[in-house]
Structure 1
Amino acid sequence: MTYRVCFVCSGNICRSPMAEAVFRARVADAGLDGLVEADSAGTGGWHEGEGADPRAVSVLTAHGYAVDHTARQFHASWFSRLDLVVALDSGHLRELHRLAPTERDAAKVRLLRSYDPAGHDGGLDVPDPYYGGRDGFEECLEMVEAASDGLLAAVREQVEGRAA
């Protein structure tokens, strides 16, 4: 049975596509292809059908990540097919909890940086880089990468628990 993860930010063109690309790479490196699927969406539909922000694509590509992305909006009906919904900031977390049809669905929502074992001196939010320059996208990628190993470990534990 496939374990499904969806990363969620505001418009699904910056943070969540970056998290999706990094996590997919981690999943592939761990040999979990076919067992774990990752995708992403936004809380709003402003950019539906668009590709990822060119600055996000540039930063991801420069760091060796593959990007093939089309923005879409998250829908409450998706909770039934997802195992984990990963919010990029506390605003997304609140919105996803509001959208969750049941308490069980709400329990599937976590903040990405809660998986970062190094701590959170600046809080658990991944700041939105959209209104800034390339440095903000580099910082976003660093935060996503720092949390992705912990996220992968948690997902691997769930996948192995299902197989047992």
Structure 2
Amino acid sequence: MNPALRYLGGYPENLIEQVSRLIETDKLGAWLEQRYPHKHNIKSEKALYDYVQGIKSQYLKKSSPISKVAYDGKIHVVNNALGLHSFVSRAHGGKLKAKNEIRIASMFKDAPEPFLRMLVVHELAHLKEKDHNKAFYQLCCHMEPDYHQLEFDARLYLIHLETSADNKA
């Protein structure tokens, strides 16, 4: 089995076989390109912050504020994750200050916008739901009705990035 298929753990075998055929016939990239032809132009951290705030203000107005949003080049390698939501508490002048931060894997700087949106929605959902439970995924689907499809397709995107990099090496 192709090591990149580890992103599909828990998915049905017939789906994994379909993806394997796309990889073997070198058609996964073309399939993704056809389905998601446009990459986003949210390159700076300020633009990313504004993008996240726009989604947050639409769906989570009463949730805790976000102090920082950033692209992070170390996330995927170190944490085996695509995005991180951190809740940082610091003592400041005798008071406890809490800050929410969202970090997105920098590999998504050049991704199609729906994948970035899915990651942002996922991390924003952690403002209300810390665990990946039913309420968490319901909130994700409220903010992005195609959440589950986009999550699967983002996994295919990661597989494509790894397998196309392997083919170039």
Please indicate, yes or no, whether the TM-score normalized by the shorter chain is above 0.5: no
What is the TM-score of this pair, normalised by structure 2?
A: 0.31
Q: Determine which structure has more spread, i.e. the larger CA radius of gyration.
A: 2
Q: What TM-score do you get using the length of structure 1 for normalisation?
A: 0.31
